[in-house]
Structure 1
Amino acid sequence: MKWDEFAGWGHKVADWAQEYHQTIADRPVRAQTEPGDILNALPASPPEGPESMEDIFRDFEQIVMPGMTHWQHPRFFAYFPTNATPPSVLAEYLVATLTAQCMLWQTSPAATEMETRVLDWLRQATGLPEDFSGVIQDSASGATLAAILTMRERALDWHGNTQGLAGQTPVRVYASREVHTSIDRAIWIAGIGEENLIRIPTNGPQRAMDIASLRKAIQADREAGLKPAGIVACVGGTGVGATDDIAAVAQVAQQEGLYLHVDAAWAGNAMICPEFRPMWAGTESADSIVFNPYKWIGGQFDGSVHFVRSPEDLTRTLAISPEYLRTHGKDGIINYSEWSVPLGRRFRALKLWFLIRAYGLDGLRKRIRDHVRWSQQLHDKIATTPGFEIVTPPMWSLWSFRYLREGFDPDDLNLRLVNAINDDGRIYLTQTRVDGDLVIRFQAGQFDTTEKDVMMAWDVITEIARGLE
């Protein structure tokens, strides 16, 4: 394919994308294929010669599309969505066209300076104070790893990177079991070790870390000659939306001299609505915060917003500047590759710039408020439906329930129910466990979902529950 053919195919792909989004509700949400179907439909060996775009695109539609779960479906109520909006998709098109490597200011000044500006827009939008600076990471996992590495280095007086961890006093990190497994991975990769991730019990409807238990754990570690390094708190945990009392956790962190990272990967988006900010009160005292715009406000994957109070601590942990990466003769520049684990960086700020300008903060706030309101309406309806039990209350647009029937094992019954719902294809839900019990979780957050889509979930859930034997 040559560039003089590109515009024609670009039009075809754009037309296909528009039709796909306009008709996506007619498709089953989850892929209906069996394991191996796609693999077996793909040739075992690569082609020796070129193939036509007509053949390639035909196979895309016939082989690839049947195996896709439709994350942009308005009845995608599983996990958290990874939204795509028309302006951000167009921006991604431009990013792919430019294919800039935005590791340094000099390799793409516009990318660096736009990232600085757009991240400050989001700082203002979420009500964070001016002493936070932002960077776009590949994912919340990358931001969390950067935070864990920084708290490790700070606790070791910046000797971990130079001396290694052998012979160092073990560092300890504290979190509840409600935090995302990316924290576990970060602990592994950072060399801290799973045994040094201390799980703090939770209590209350928000399943928040018990502050007294947190203090006792830190004190016990100090008395044992270990080195407390930091705390990872969550706002809107993935399972059922667990949210720590950030103000209380921040007070402990300050008194103990510990680094505090707040994982708000999903719920942080809701903080563009002032009425939701009391749920993360105290976050202004954290050392770092992460949230994912693609999980709610429409800036599609990848790209996570990582705010830090001290960029100097972050760059002291991650920056390496060989001669070939230095920019001479320029003062006051930012090289965001020094703020991230990867050296390579995409022009991710462009899609956030397009997104925020195209909808405005008011347009994005309206969607979040609608999703929360509609989800709570469905919660209220399920709560009054015989045979159903609410397990965890709504945290923004996320809550959980289970179906109970006399003579049936609850875990087995609910696993069969969620599998039957997903095989049906009209909606998509996922399960989790709460205090050992298997429950079904619901969340509304797909950018184009409607009240009708959300309320349809009641019809599907109750219809399929009645049909279980």
Structure 2
Amino acid sequence: MSDMPWTDPAAELRADGPAVLEWAARYLAEVGERPVLSPVAPGWVRAQLPAHPPAAAEGWDAILADLDRVVVPGTAHWQSPGWYAYFQSNSSAAAVLAEALITTFGVQGMLWHTGPACTEVETLVLDWLAELLDLPSAFRSDGPGGGVIQDSASSSTLVAVLAARDRARRAGARLDDLVAYTSIDAHSSVEKGLRVAGLLSEQLRPVPVDADRALRPVALASMVEEDLAAGKVPFLAVATVGTTSTHGMDPLGAIGELARAHGMWFHVDAAHAGAAALVPELRWIHDGLDRADSYVMDPHKWLFTAMDCSALFVRDAAPLVDALSITPEYLRNTASGSGEVVDYRDWQVPLGRRFRALKLWAVIRRFGAEGLRTAVAGHVALAQGLAARLADDPRFELPLPTPLNLVCLAHVGGDEATEALLVALNATGRVAVSHTRIDGRYLLRLSIGQTRTTRETVDELWSLIDEHAPAA
């Protein structure tokens, strides 16, 4: 190999690419055999590696050796079929290969002019996604709105908050008078988005939920009326389709009507659960979505596309552009000024943007609509089957519904028994599970949606639960 490999990247790819791909293939083939959660202590990874950078170029053989020796033992294996914690961060062969192509192009698609394919493939593939999920027509690119890929649902929600804030400010509202509303179970990114947008945490009103952990519209209406009477300006309502803790399903129609009646921006967070709408029988999760101003779902969670790929859809892009567009002379060009193209840098916080759409485009093409539907429906069926097993076992309670693929359970022995079960399950190395607290009660969460999770791996999960759960 040349001492200066950067001078001939094609030669290095031909020489070392096969070994790197083989390493990746071996990792994915063996990932189910590794402890799902890393057993290393804090600081172990860094201690295994040199404190200073190498003076001379090193070969890929040395880099791959350190992956095996240090990085793999220090990794939580999100691609393991035994991953049931949090939600999934799924990948697939199509996403891995497309990611290599994204890096190969190295496009900085801030403007249409700097990456026509980067922009137009993104517009197309998000129209595809809107069709697959049967989203309202207002979210398609043939009107004033459309879709854009962000790095995460947190960024997508932040963009919605910024658009809502600036729309209210342009209408004459003072920043200090603005108030927003969301469920007490909403994701922390809603509060963080408000804080980044210059508002205080106190300007976000947490709305109570019902027994199924869905936001109560009557409570929301009462809080809005109280704020109006106090001279405040309601400017944003955020609903969740599938809350992180419990998969609570907020009533979109009722919330949307309240938002519309009071001139609020209505944002819907379906970061994980939105993928279920691929399955026609599960599209009830989006009932009332036609009232939303913006909507986010993450293909990198349950659509096998790998971090980072969050799809934000808006009814009208103008408020985003109003809030986020700054155009110095060096960003001006004829195409952008013509009105015939979209510059996605005006739909996001950073200027720079990767060719993320290539990854989603490849995944949809490699799976096909039927393949995606089959995979998602299969995960839901596995979760429902596990929930039925748990419900029939006197050692467990299912205190909440299981509408999709998240099962929340508690041991009848109380919080200590439930937590002991979680610790025991994770200690096996065969699975990773996580927990939440609802009304002070400790619940174990089982999210069934990893790319390689099958009936056999869920049967193993059940066997481990059966083995390690204390008697009733």
TM tier relative to shorter chain: over 0.9
Aligned positions, number = 457
SS of residue matched to 1:134: strand
1:218 to 206, 218, 224: 224
Mapped partners of 1:49, 1:21: distance in 2: 31
Instruction: Give the match for residue 163 of structure 1.
Output: none
Equivalent positions of 1:43-442 (< 5 A) are 43-132=50-139, 133-157=146-170, 168-205=175-212, 207-329=213-335, 330-405=338-413, 410-442=414-446
Matches within 5 A, 1:435-450: 435-450=439-454
Unpaired runs of at least 5, structure 2? 140-145
CA distance in 1, matches of 2:412, 2:316: 50
TM-score, normalization: structure 2? 0.94
1:436 positional shift: 1.1
Q: Deviations over 1:156-198 (max 9, x none)?
A: 22678xxxxxx64420000011111111110110111100100
Measured in 2, the distance between the counterparts of 1:193 and 1:462 equals 46
User: Helix, strand or coil for the counterpart of 1:127?
Assistant: coil
Residue 346 (structure 1) shift: 0.3
Contact 2:20 2:64 in 1 (8 A): no
Query: Could you tell me whether the CA contact under 8 Å between 1:32 and 1:423 is conserved in 2?
Result: no
Structure 1's 177 and 168: CA in aligned 2 closer, same or farther, altered over 3 A? closer
Kept in 2: contact 1:72–1:84 (CA 8 A)? yes
Q: Residues 56-112 of structure 1, C-alpha deviation per residue, up to 9 Å, x if partnerless? A: 221121011101111111111111111111112111100011111011001010010
Give the distance between the partners of 1:143 and 1:391, measured in 2 at CA: 31
Cα distance in 2, alignment partners of residues 158 and 299 from structure 1: 39
- The Cα shift of 1:47 comes to 2.3
How far apart are the structure 2 equivalents of 1:347 and 1:159?
38
CA offsets 1:398-420 (integer angstroms, 9 cap, x no match): 12001233xxxx22332222122
Which secondary structure state, in structure 1, belongs to the residue aligned with residue 170 of structure 2?
Answer: coil
TM-score (normalizing by structure 1): 0.95
- Contact kept, 8 Å, 2:176 with 2:199, in 1: the verdict is no
Q: Distance in 2 between matches of 1:294 and 1:447?
A: 11
Question: CA shift at 1:388, angstroms?
Answer: 1.2
Equivalent in the alignment of 2:143: none
Give the 3 Å change call, closer, same or farther, for CA 12–198 of structure 1 in structure 2: same
Deviation string, structure 1 residues 219-261 (Cα, Å, up to 9, x no partner): 1101101111010000001111011000111111111111100
Residue identity opposite 1:360 in structure 2:
G
Amino acid at match of 1:359: F
In the alignment, the residues of structure 2 paired with residue 59 and residue 123 of structure 1 have an alpha-carbon distance, to the nearest angstrom, of 42
3-state SS of paired residue (1:48): coil
TM superposition shift of 1:344 = 0.6
State the alpha-carbon separation in 2 of the partners of residues 168 and 414 from structure 1: 45
| Paired amino acid for 2:180 | V
Alignment check: 8 A CA contact 1:88 1:352 kept? yes
**Amino acid corresponding to residue 357 of structure 1 in structure 2:** R
Q: Is the 8 A contact 1:158 1:317 kept in 2?
A: no
Question: 1:29 maps to what in 2?
Answer: 36
Distance (whole Å) between structure 1 residues aligned to residue 34 and residue 171 of structure 2: 53
**Contact preservation (8 Å) 2:23, 2:64:** no
Would the aligned equivalents of 2:182 and 2:238 in 1 still touch at CA under 8 Å? Answer: yes
Please give the root-mean-square deviation of Cα atoms over the aligned residues, in Å. 1.6
CA contact (8 A) 2:88 2:447 kept: no
Distance in 2, matches of 1:394 and 1:170, equals 39
Give, in whole Å, the separation in 2 of the partners of 1:55 and 1:121.
42
* CA contact 1:170–1:192 (8 Å) conserved in 2: no
Counterpart secondary structure, 2:191: helix
Displacement after TM superposition at 1:24 (Å): 1.6
Paired with 1:86 and 1:168, the residues of 2 have a C-alpha distance of 47
Partner deviation per Cα, 1:293-314 (whole Å, 9 max, x = no partner): 0111111110100000010111
Are the aligned partners of 2:149 and 2:311 in contact in 1 as well (CA < 8 Å)? Answer: yes
Conserved 8 A contact 1:318-1:341 = yes
- Deviation readout 1:412-444 (Å, 9 max, x if unpaired): 332222122112111110000111111101111
Q: Which amino acid aligns with 2:390?
A: I
Contact 1:261 1:288 in 2 (8 A): yes
Mean CA deviation greater in 1-10 or 388-397: 1-10
- Change beyond 3 A, Cα 1:50–1:416: same
Per-residue deviation, 1:113: 0.4
Could you say what secondary structure the match of 2:119 adopts? helix
Identical-pair percentage:
39
1:454 & 1:155 partners in 2: Cα distance? 48
